[in-house]
């Protein structure tokens, strides 16, 4: 898949997801932190997923830019974040609709978020220098999403 195809596919997925989110719970603006998780694991998971998906989209764009510049060390991160986006949007849809299958997918999402966090952590040495902060934010939101998924499954 070339860059143009990837960009076209990402835009299509993003537009579809935006329309789903517009019909769901309101989300925080990008400059505001996500609300603190409530006592309801479903609501907490939706909030964690919204943040995670937003940060993953930014990380994916950053990785794509780095890859386009010849920095092949971002290939693993790009692949992991693409998996996170795919499963995250699917889980968001299931949880929003209160699907009985949501807990099954939440287990998979937690595992994929752990993999994404580890891939983003490969760039950790650069975070202190203000570089690759998209990866840092993605890593942190994946970690939070993993915790929220576990709480949702346990409830």
pLDDT in tens, 60-82: 999 999 999 999 999 999 999 99
Identify which has the larger pLDDT, 12 or 124.
Answer: 124
Q: pTM higher than 0.85, yes or no?
A: no
- Interval 15-34 mean pLDDT: 47
Q: Tell me the C-alpha to C-alpha distance, in Å, between residue 78 and each of 44, 82, 92, 145.
A: 26, 6, 21, 18
The tokens describing 132, both together, are 């690759």
Q: In the chain, where are the structural domains located?
A: 41-154
The 10 Å Cβ neighbour count of residue 96 is: 17
Average pLDDT over residues 28-47: 68
Q: Is 1.20.1270.360 the CATH number for 41-154?
A: yes
Give the pLDDT score at 27: 47
**DSSP conformational letter for 37:** P
What one-character DSSP code corresponds to residue 33? P
Q: What is the pLDDT of residue 123?
A: 85
């Amino acid at each position: 898949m070339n860059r143009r195809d990837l960009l076209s596919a990402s835009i299509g997925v993003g537009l579809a997801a935006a329309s789903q989110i517009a019909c769901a719970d309101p989300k925080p603006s990008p400059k505001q932190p996500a609300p603190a998780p409530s006592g309801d694991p479903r609501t907490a998971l939706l909030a964690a997923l919204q943040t995670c998906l937003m940060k993953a989209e930014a990380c994916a764009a950053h990785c794509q830019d780095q890859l386009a510049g010849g920095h092949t060390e971002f290939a693993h991160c790009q692949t992991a974040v693409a998996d996170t986006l795919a499963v995250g949007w699917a889980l968001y849809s299931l949880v929003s609709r209160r699907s009985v299958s949501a807990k099954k997918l939440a287990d998979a999402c937690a595992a994929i978020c752990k993999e994404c966090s580890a891939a983003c952590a490969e760039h950790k040495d650069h975070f202190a220098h203000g570089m690759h902060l998209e990866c840092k934010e993605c890593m942190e939101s994946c970690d939070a999403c993993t915790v929220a998924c576990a709480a949702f499954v346990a409830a």
